[in-house]
Amino acid sequence: MEAQSLIIGGILIGALGVLAFVVGRLVHQRSMARHIATNGVTKSANLADSLRDEKLKSEIILNAIEDGVILLDDQKTIQLFNPGAAAITGWQADEALGLDFHAVIRLVDEKDSPYTEDQNPFNRVYKEALTVRDHEATLVSRSDKRISLNLSVSPLFDQNQEVNGAVAVFRDVSEERQQERQRDEFISTASHEMRTPVAAIEGYLSLALNDKVSTIDTRARSYLDKAHAATKHLGTLFQDLLTSAKAEDGRLSNHPRVVEVGECMEQLAQDLRFTAEKKGLSVELVIGSNQTIDASSTHRIIRPLYYAHVDPDRLIEVVTNLFDNAVKYTPEGKISLGLTGNDSVVQIYVRDTGPGIAREDVPHLFQKFYRVDNSATRTIGGTGLGLYICRKIIELYHGKIWVESELGKGSTFFINLPRLSTAQAEQMKAAEAAQPAT
Ligand code: ADP
């Protein structure tokens, strides 16, 4: 899907280039015409010819391309509406010209809710003075049909560098989105169906490896050990594929409630430290800005209460994933699990002393199937789905996940979640308790 978006993005950027040229030529022609008129200069036959030629070329391009192209003025009124735009939106150019863009380009999100003014890429361009791309938008056509769009809107500037217009290029990608949905559905069904036989194979291999029920020689044991590890990996892959397909279409099971994140992290640090210690890595839990607690410590300390409204199982899944990655990619040193925050945010972090992540990889890390290509990842198994799933889960709770890393020094993965005040938490807990159990 990302490759497809890139290709389509490339085409759109190409089209935008052509368009910038065309719009530039039109503006140039107008100013030339004005210049000629105001100065009373006699038109030379050559200039008139070349202007006509340029205009013709611009019109040919705008009329020929399938992509929709529209031009808005400083009042966000439609000034140019090519046949591509008419075909996609169902509006004729003579109807659309002179209208506010809202009337013609009605955008909704995947839940069919209309875009808010702040979300609308056209408004954002006027506000942010930057090109805005939206590959998820859906257009409501004139006859109320839903059309999936790939949209790119760029600002136009006056002499003072103020935005005085916008040009939009868009393409109907309904067919591609439909194919994407079918592909995701197939992955979801296939991984669901394949989990059962894989679990059965894993179970029988465990039995074969169990001294109490089977007798095997050393060589057979070493083969079965490898088969068992590979089957476990396959099981994880199917589970990850299923989870990511569910996350994509909003079917991820999710039962949020008021959670005291500190308590959750203390328990988790106890459970997770074994995997790290098995590899010779030390583990610490840091609560607040400077309270460091050995992960094996059972002492209770007085600390702030960090409440958030999340599904604790999902939060544990995310932190476990980050912790497992830290263990997996760190050959030696320490892993720190941290919890801190301010009035509005609960922040969890997982810090390691591993190899770090190159700056150019960081923006892609939370994309589906992205794995950094280096000697470590070539030998260490993985699917490239873990961080993608983490992001999808954290976004369910209106949180944010990101990484800060330096090559050779280690990485820190951060999660920010909206924090509930103690009063809010008490109130919500009381409401939860009053609800009948499901
Ligand atoms: P994988 O199954 O490959 O671990 P993830 O989505 O969990 O998939 O991680 C994506 C990539 O991010 C990994 O392939 C790895 O290159 C990099 N990565 C994740 N965590 C760390 C870490 N703690 N240190 C270094 N690299 C990491």
Pairing of strands 146-157, 257-260: unpaired
Q: Which residue has the tokens 């993965």?
A: 413
Q: d(Cα 193, Cα 182) in Å, to the nearest integer?
A: 16
Q: Which residue has the tokens 């997982």?
A: 350
Question: In the predicted model, is pLDDT for residue 68 greater than 90?
Answer: yes
Give CA torsion, residues 115, 119, 121, 123, to 10 deg: 100
Give CA torsion, residues 23, 80, 68, 51, to 10 deg: -40
Q: What is the tens place of the pLDDT at every residue in 71-110?
A: 999 999 999 999 999 999 999 999 999 999 999 999 998 8
Q: What is the tens place of the pLDDT at every residue in 152-189?
A: 999 999 999 999 999 999 999 999 989 988 888 888 88
- Cα(334) to ligand 1 centroid in Å equals 17
Residue 263's H or E segment, with its range, is helix 261-278
Tokens representing 281?
């890595």
Report the pocket of ligand 1 as residue ranges, CB < 6 Å.
Answer: 325-326, 329, 352, 354-355, 357, 365, 370-372, 377, 382-388, 411
Question: In the predicted model, is pLDDT for residue 290 greater than 80?
Answer: no
Which atom of ligand 1 is least distant from the CA of 376?
16
Give CA torsion, residues 379, 381, 382, 383, to 10 deg: 100
Q: How far is CA 215 from the centre of its chain?
A: 50
Mean pLDDT of the 29-44 span: 46
Look over the chain and give the mean of its residue pLDDT values, rounded to a whole number.
86
Q: Which amino acid is at 48?
A: A
Q: From 241, 326, 230, select the one nearest 283 (Cα to Cα).
A: 326
Mean pLDDT of the 345-361 span: 95
* Report field, pTM of the whole predicted structure over 0.95: no
Give CA torsion, residues 224, 229, 234, 237, to 10 deg: 180
Question: In the predicted model, is pLDDT for residue 327 greater than 60?
Answer: yes
- Of 366, 372, 374, 411, best ligand 1 pocket probe by most atoms within 8 Å of the beta carbon: 372
**Most confident by average pLDDT, 21-35, 217-231, 424-438:** 217-231
| DSSP, residue by residue, 5-69 | HHHHHHHHHHHHHHHHHHHHHHHHHHHHHHHHHHHTPPPPHHHHHHHHHHHHHHHHHHHH-SSEE
The pLDDT of residue 301 is 55
Among 238-242, 246-250, 409-413, 428-432, name the one with the lowest average pLDDT.
246-250
- Cα(269) to ligand 1 centroid in Å equals 20
Q: What is the tens place of the pLDDT at every residue in 110-159?
A: 889 999 999 999 999 999 999 999 988 999 999 999 999 999 999 999 99
Q: Which residue has the higher pLDDT, 392 or 382?
A: 392
- Cα(284) to ligand 1 centroid in Å equals 21
The pLDDT of residue 183 is 84
**219: helix, coil or strand?**
helix
- Cα(230) to ligand 1 centroid in Å equals 19
Please name the residue whose Cα sits nearest to atom 13 of ligand 1: 371
Mean pLDDT of the 222-230 span: 94
Rounded to 5 degrees, φ, ψ at 313 are -65, -40
The pLDDT of residue 291 is 53
